[in-house]
Structure 1
Amino acid sequence: MKLTTNKQSLSGTINIPSDKSISHRSIMFGSIAHGTTTIKNFLRGEDCLSTLAAFRSLGVAIEDDGETITVHGTGFEGLKPAEQPIDVGNSGTTIRLISGILAGQDFSTELYGDDSIAKRPMARVMNPLNQMGADCRGREGSEYPPLTIKGNPQLQPLHYNMPVASAQVKSAILFAALQASGETVVIEKERTRDHTEDMIRQFGGKIEVTGKEIRVQGPQRLTGQEVVVPGDISSAAFFLVAGLILPESKIVLENVGLNPTRTGIIDVIKQMGGRITIEEEGENNKSGKITVETSELKGIEIKGEIIPRLIDELPIIALMATQAEGTTVIRDAEELKVKETNRIDAVANELNRLGAEITPTEDGLIIQGKTALQGGKVTSYGDHRIGMMLQIAALLVREGEVELEKSEAIAVSYPNFFDDLEKLYRAGGN
């Protein structure tokens, strides 16, 4: 599709789509809890709908009236074998987290997905689950999907030092730990998003977190709850950056999730000199209103423990860096290689096609600013975050057209992305 280009300014207020990570987990926790869970503000993007369909296939009754989703939880012990292999679509969160739940069952399940999923490494999940007593196997003896998970109702606890900083891997182990007999200890390489830990507590479970060490005593029984999903800061990130780099712009984003394990992009914006204000609200100040305005940005170095707090936002941060004075260096971001696509290469290849000066490295990117962008043909590689980043980049193009292949991937997490963008540039007088 042809992308919108040459926009002088953006202004207005938009409500950000619901948090994808919490939406996934709300279905999962509602399913393995006893009693009824109601979910409001659920993200009806393709990834989260894959999770919903997966648990229906495991025998969980889930109703959706368009506003509220009602999950009639079965407990871990009430899940039923799926009648056919479960299709997770494009969702890495679904396939990795559900593996931990299936690890403690007394039946086998096959999980498969699209071409992207077939390339996602799963040994990082399979190895700890197999150590706990499950039998997880990839395609033809490899670590790649389709996965076959033969569960074990007698899971053993685990003491596990995580070799990668991954909330998905951590969550899979925690779901298994809730079914195991004894105490499981997980030690993170770096702290990652803690939605799973929060929701264990919300659903009546017990978990101890001390720094990077997490302890769960199993087995546990969870109870259904009401879940209100906040807006997703990963989706907000695209408009945060648009408001900073387009001239004479001011954008207000409502109901943005502000979980501290997810707000690394806010720290980076402040370090780069961005004009950003936050009004905290909601329970425990974990959501709020964010306002950004056109800013003079400067290049910085992004590395170390902040990386897991902004791993999904790095593509749009890279675009922001092309409009900052000086050089920005991103390090310690090897995890970008195992997302929906290799995001290190994808960001460098596609932004360079539009005139950026970005050098990919083994663990990140070196980005030269400030660069003018031009028209060209680009692709999302079927990755929603690459697709949205390229549309924001196209707004900066003053001459020529930008044509995006595989734009449909954006619907995975932000079905109304183009509609929200149109509201902002119309309000901006373009």
Structure 2
Amino acid sequence: MQLKIESKSNLTGEVNVPGDKSISHRAVMLGALAQGKTEIEGFLTGEDCLSTVKAFQALGVEVDGVGTEAMTIHGKGLAGLEEADDVLDLGNSGTTMRLMLGILAGQDFYSVVTGDDSLRSRPMARVTEPLAEMNGQFYGRDNANLAPITVLGGQQLKVMQYRSPVASAQVKSSILLAGLYADGVTEVIEPAKSRDHTERMLEYFGANVEVDGLAVKVEGKPELKGQKVIVPGDISSAAFLMVAGLITSGSEILIKNVGLNPTRSGVIDALEQMNANLELLNQREVNGEPIADIIVKSSQLQGIVIDGELIPLLIDEIPILAIAASQAEGKTVIKDAEELRVKETDRIDAMVKELTKLGVEVIEREDGMEIVGKQTIQGGAKCRSYDDHRVAMSLAIAGLIAEEPVIIENAECINISFPNFEELLTEL
């Protein structure tokens, strides 16, 4: 599918973005491991989250309302999952695979997980190695670094204290979920704070969780109980519309009910540093997660340095921040973001190549990029999506200010996280 975007200004209106991807994944997982029913409202019906649903259905979990925003998970309890009769195909979802490996390590049955070409190329040793220290058993390509990966169940997992070399919510979550199956307390210590949806939701479902700075502990063998989960709008999706409103003239957009988890809201901090005309309204909390409405207006942005501890708090938003940076006064430097090279694609390489194609002066760094601001987006080009939803949507937003139309090829990947992206843009 090709997506053609033409120059537009005066974007106005009120919108709701799809449900938070990270929270949707975790609501299904913990709902499946809990006793009783978990009712989910605002579930993200994107392909990645549906991969999580299908995996748990294959493991014997009954799910009502599949494919809709309102689902009910009939929990089986920690020990209630059943051996699947086929390989678990997790599509493009790295979150599903890494977190599932933690859960499957604690089961008493055999499992095999795989995914599409992209997922089979992404590194899994970052979770299989620490999980092996907990007595999990894994076999796969490149010493269980690459899927397909076999998980040999039946091992009693051991508690551990793990010092993660990277600030990664997926690594942390995988170990904490495995820790549910160990006797005693499992602890993960990170070099910087990563998103904390797993800790919040574990506690909400009844687990004993302790957070102390960069350390998180979970006590094994809890009795999780099904809950009602209202999924807020995904701030990563909202970021595309925020930047659209900031860089197009005469625009004012109100985005309702957006999750503002402090471990995810780095994009707000970065845009405020860039002098964005942005305001948070009606701040409140729902099932342990802070939310608010966000209003953005056309702005004269300023170039900044994005690095250090801010990076884990906005790692998924860097592609769209690169578009904002191209319209800011002065240079924007993004560094300490090596993690971008092992996402759905190498997002540093992809954004540098496609921005250059659109006429933007950008310098690639090993850990990020430097973007010269106040540049004209030339357009008139066919851009690659690299089958990466965030790259595709970032290039689409660039098209709103391009001199000529921008065409994004293989844009169907947008359905991974934002199925109604084109519809909302059209509405605005």
Bin for the TM-score computed over the shorter chain: over 0.9
- Mapped to 1, the partners of 2:168 and 2:97 lie a distance apart of 14
Aligned to 2:129: 127
Aligned to 1:263: 265
Question: Following superposition of structure 1 onto structure 2, how do residues 174-213 of structure 1 map, counting pairs within 5 Å?
Answer: 174-213=176-215
Aligned to 1:74: 76
- Mapped to 2, the partners of 1:240 and 1:289 lie a distance apart of 12
- Structure 2 residue runs of 5 or longer lacking an equivalent are none
- What SS does structure 1 have at the residue aligned with 2:382? strand
Instruction: Write the letter of the residue equivalent to 1:287.
Output: I
Higher mean alpha-carbon deviation, 412-421 vs 143-152, is at: 143-152
Aligned pairs, how many?
Answer: 423
How far residue 285 of structure 1 moved from its aligned partner, in angstroms, is: 7.0
Identity of aligned residues (%): 52
- RMSD across aligned C-alpha pairs, in angstroms? 1.2
How far residue 147 of structure 1 moved from its aligned partner, in angstroms, is: 1.1
Closer/same/farther in 2, CA of residues 278 and 170 from structure 1, 3 Å limit: same
Aligned to 1:343: 347
Closer/same/farther in 2, CA of residues 366 and 390 from structure 1, 3 Å limit: same
- Mapped to 1, the partners of 2:3 and 2:127 lie a distance apart of 39
Aligned to 1:23: 24
Aligned to 2:383: 378
- Mapped to 1, the partners of 2:298 and 2:322 lie a distance apart of 17
Is 2:328 the counterpart of 1:324?
A: yes
- Mapped to 1, the partners of 2:183 and 2:371 lie a distance apart of 49
- Mapped to 2, the partners of 1:325 and 1:137 lie a distance apart of 51
Instruction: Write the letter of the residue equivalent to 2:37.
Output: T
Alpha-carbon deviations, 1:362-399, whole Å to 9, x = none? 11111111110112111110000000001000111123
Instruction: Write the letter of the residue equivalent to 1:418.
Output: E
Q: Given that residues 15 and 254 in structure 1 are in contact (C-alpha distance below 8 angstroms), is that contact kept between their aligned partners in structure 2?
A: yes
Q: Given that residues 155 and 176 in structure 1 are in contact (C-alpha distance below 8 angstroms), is that contact kept between their aligned partners in structure 2?
A: yes
- What SS does structure 1 have at the residue aligned with 2:332? strand
How far residue 17 of structure 1 moved from its aligned partner, in angstroms, is: 0.6
How far residue 2 of structure 1 moved from its aligned partner, in angstroms, is: 4.3
Question: Following superposition of structure 1 onto structure 2, how do residues 141-180 of structure 1 map, counting pairs within 5 Å?
Answer: 141=143, 143-180=145-182
- What SS does structure 2 have at the residue aligned with 1:281? strand
How far residue 8 of structure 1 moved from its aligned partner, in angstroms, is: 2.3
- Structure 1 residue runs of 5 or longer lacking an equivalent are 425-430
How far residue 321 of structure 1 moved from its aligned partner, in angstroms, is: 0.2
Alpha-carbon deviations, 1:70-101, whole Å to 9, x = none? 11111121100110000100101100101110
Q: Given that residues 260 and 289 in structure 2 are in contact (C-alpha distance below 8 angstroms), is that contact kept between their aligned partners in structure 1?
A: yes
- Mapped to 1, the partners of 2:422 and 2:70 lie a distance apart of 25
Q: Given that residues 207 and 218 in structure 2 are in contact (C-alpha distance below 8 angstroms), is that contact kept between their aligned partners in structure 1?
A: no
Task: Name which of 208, 214, 220 aligns with 1:218.
Answer: 220
Closer/same/farther in 2, CA of residues 142 and 180 from structure 1, 3 Å limit: closer
Aligned to 2:402: 397
- Mapped to 1, the partners of 2:262 and 2:309 lie a distance apart of 13
- What SS does structure 2 have at the residue aligned with 1:314? helix
Task: Name which of 303, 308, 332 aligns with 1:299.
Answer: 303
- Mapped to 2, the partners of 1:185 and 1:38 lie a distance apart of 29
- Mapped to 1, the partners of 2:357 and 2:235 lie a distance apart of 27
Instruction: Write the letter of the residue equivalent to 1:407.
Output: A
Q: Given that residues 64 and 73 in structure 2 are in contact (C-alpha distance below 8 angstroms), is that contact kept between their aligned partners in structure 1?
A: yes
List structure 1 segments (4+ residues) > 3 angstroms apart after TM superposition: 282-285
Q: TM-score, normalised by structure 1?
A: 0.96
How far residue 142 of structure 1 moved from its aligned partner, in angstroms, is: 5.0
Alpha-carbon deviations, 1:280-301, whole Å to 9, x = none? 1343671111000010111000
How far residue 269 of structure 1 moved from its aligned partner, in angstroms, is: 0.8
- What SS does structure 2 have at the residue aligned with 1:349? helix
Alpha-carbon deviations, 1:221-261, whole Å to 9, x = none? 21111111000000000000010011111111001001111
- What SS does structure 2 have at the residue aligned with 1:73? strand
- Mapped to 2, the partners of 1:151 and 1:157 lie a distance apart of 16
Aligned to 1:415: 419
- Mapped to 2, the partners of 1:265 and 1:318 lie a distance apart of 12
Aligned to 1:428: none
